[in-house]
Amino acid sequence: MQSVRIAIAQTPVTADPAKNGTIIRQQVRDAAATGARLVQFPECAASGYVKSEIKSWRDVDWNLLRAELEQTARLAGDLGLWVVLGCAHPLTPEIRPHNSLYVIDDRGELHERYDKQYLSNTEINDWFTPGSRPVTFQVDGIRFGCALCIEVNFPELFRRYEEEGADAVLVSSYSNNPSDSLRTRAHADFNKLWVTLSIPAGPDNRGLTALVASPDGGVVGRAEPGSTTLVEADINPQDEKWDIDLRRARPWRAKARDGGIYRTRHVAHPRSVDRRSF
């Protein structure tokens, strides 16, 4: 395992796949120039998000979108960079798309796809088909998990990624809820993970920004509000400053959650059983 530099994008998202693709590929080039091994983009960064950009699935030029995705994948292979990219994933016309993250590897191949499992009320009733499983993948020995937007409200997902041995969870979002910054940091601290948040650039984000939270719940990188930019951070579990969080607290919490260390210490002492006396 070695240190892995990641770049978290805060970019505009439009209804035009070609315009989105141009923005995405410029950020991919910028990330590669910093030495990043992985760059992450917001929810539906390639396709545009529903309601705000997409009014009907019939309006989406799926062939153009696929061509843009293929062009971005080729660039990832040329630069030797992993790209985690939010996009609507079509199924068939009678079945709603998934809300997905494409994981493109450093050879320019589609390595995996994460489909959002916990959809909002509007998403599940009007727009998307839910996914059914978490996804992890490794870059240079660092294991990443994937999540999308409202899933930042589901601690069980981050707990599962911790149990599966993830070092970091990549959260791509279309949110403008300032509380998502706090939730991101809380999941990082509770589960002793790096947790990232990639959001669209724009003036209406109410102070929410792209960020990288560290395993102690701190912030090791944050974007300027509204700007089109990359947030860079190094993930290095071997760094001694994470000794307590990763090599002491995280294993101890796993043992505590299992409960075995407590069950063997329970007693049937009368003063333990009697709860109505001082």
| pLDDT score, position 1 | 58
Assigned token pair, 254: 């796993």
Helices within the chain (DSSP H only): 17-33, 62-79, 121-122, 155-163, 179-191, 250-258, 260-263, 270-273
Question: Given this model, what pLDDT does residue 202 score?
Answer: 85
pLDDT at 104: 98
Q: Terminus-to-terminus CA distance in the chain, angstroms?
A: 53
Chain length of the chain: 278
CATH placement of domain 4-273: 3.60.110.10
Tens of pLDDT along the chain (278 residues) come to: 589 999 999 999 999 999 999 999 999 999 999 999 999 999 999 999 998 899 999 999 999 999 999 999 999 999 999 999 999 999 999 999 999 999 999 999 999 999 999 999 999 999 999 999 999 999 999 999 999 999 999 999 999 999 999 999 999 999 999 999 999 999 999 999 999 999 999 877 788 999 999 999 999 999 999 999 999 999 999 999 999 999 999 999 999 999 999 999 999 999 999 999 99
Largest CA distance in the chain: 74
Distances (CA, A) of 39 to 33, 34, 105, 145, 170: 11, 11, 11, 14, 10
| Per-residue confidence (pLDDT) for residue 51, from 0 to 100 | 85
